[in-house]
Amino acid sequence: MASTSQAMLNQGLFEEQEMPTQMGFFSFAPHLNFPQLGSCHQSLKSFTIPHSLVADAPSTANLAETLISSAAAKQREDVTAYLGGPHLLSLQRSSANLWAWGEVNECLSSKRSGGDDHHLGVSAMKMKKIKARRKVREPRFCFKTMSDVDVLDDGYKWRKYGQKVVKNTLHPRSYYRCTQDNCRVKKRVERLAEDPRMVITTYEGRHVHSPSHDLEDSQANSQLNNFFF
């Protein structure tokens, strides 16, 4: 069970992309379409998210949003969530700030406590020194999914506004903006160099409206509708 997630983490993706000093991982209940992770990278210290809490989350994004809101309420900015394939979701604070996992944990346990079959892990990955120069960014989510198509149907309508070949990657990165007026959410889509089957989708910002997909489409693609950002 650990093989997939472990392999993904062992690819070193996070470190290569200037990931933060600490990050956390947790998995979700099967009914959320994200099979349990089972175990974490060996460098992670694992602890548990109550099953009941996970079961309460209407979607993975909602849970992520809860964590991010918690951080935002405490005036911490630039929280990023990483969702790896169908198997795991991780959350991190930007390297620009300290990742207050204690607060996240507090947020989680304040909701409910209970079962023990879901895991949250935190690592103390080393990375370059942070400089205060970084400007504040919108909250970001980064999905890593195995998919043939680059752009996943997340219920929102996107317009491509750019494409760029980034250094040390084989595949171009595409830039999209939400087509809704006065919604400034953006997303980037790129394929993992080490495994082109993996698509990395990064969302930046928060939608100020509901998903705009057609109802019939939403029925057909219900599996993807857990991604409400």
Partner DNA sequence: CGCTTTTGACCAGCGC
Partner DNA sequence: GCGCTGGTCAAAAGCG
Phi, psi of 111 (to 5 degrees): -80, -50
Q: Which of 88, 67, 4 minimizes the C-alpha distance to 80? A: 67
Q: Residue 166 interacts with DNA (CB under 7 A)?
A: yes
Inter-residue contact 83 to 142 (CB < 8 Å): yes
Is 165 or 208 the residue whose CB approaches DNA more closely?
165
Q: Residue 31 interacts with DNA (CB under 7 A)?
A: no
Q: How far is CA 178 from CA 30, 126, 156, 184, in A?
A: 30, 34, 7, 7
Size of the site for DNA (CB under 7 A): 21
Q: Residue 207 interacts with DNA (CB under 7 A)?
A: no
Q: Residue 74 interacts with DNA (CB under 7 A)?
A: no
Task: Please state the closest distance from residue 154 (CB atom) to DNA, in A.
Answer: 14
DSSP string, 138-199: --EEEEEEE-SSSS---SS-EEEEEEEPPTT-SS-EEEEEE-STT---EEEEEE-SS-TTEE
Q: How far apart are CA 87 and CA 7, in angstroms?
A: 12
Q: How far apart are CA 171 and CA 71, in angstroms?
A: 33
Q: Residue 135 interacts with DNA (CB under 7 A)?
A: yes
Is 21 or 174 the residue whose CB approaches DNA more closely?
174
Task: Please state the closest distance from residue 192 (CB atom) to DNA, in A.
Answer: 14
Q: Residue 160 interacts with DNA (CB under 7 A)?
A: yes
Q: Residue 163 interacts with DNA (CB under 7 A)?
A: yes
Q: Which of 91, 83, 84, 78 minimizes the C-alpha distance to 205? A: 78
Q: Which of 112, 173, 206, 213 binds DNA (CB under 7 A)?
A: 173
Residue type, 8: M
Q: Residue 126 interacts with DNA (CB under 7 A)?
A: no
Q: Which of 58, 98, 116, 134 binds DNA (CB under 7 A)?
A: 134
Q: Which of 74, 117, 124, 164 binds DNA (CB under 7 A)?
A: 164
Is 111 or 173 the residue whose CB approaches DNA more closely?
173
Task: Please state the closest distance from residue 56 (CB atom) to DNA, in A.
Answer: 34
Q: How far apart are CA 179 and CA 176, in angstroms?
A: 9
Q: How far apart are CA 95 and CA 20, in angstroms?
A: 4
Q: Of 29-37, 66-74, 104-112, 128-136, which part binds DNA (CB under 7 A)?
A: 128-136
Q: What residues line the site for DNA (CB under 7 A)? A: 131, 133-135, 157-164, 166-168, 173-175, 179, 186, 188
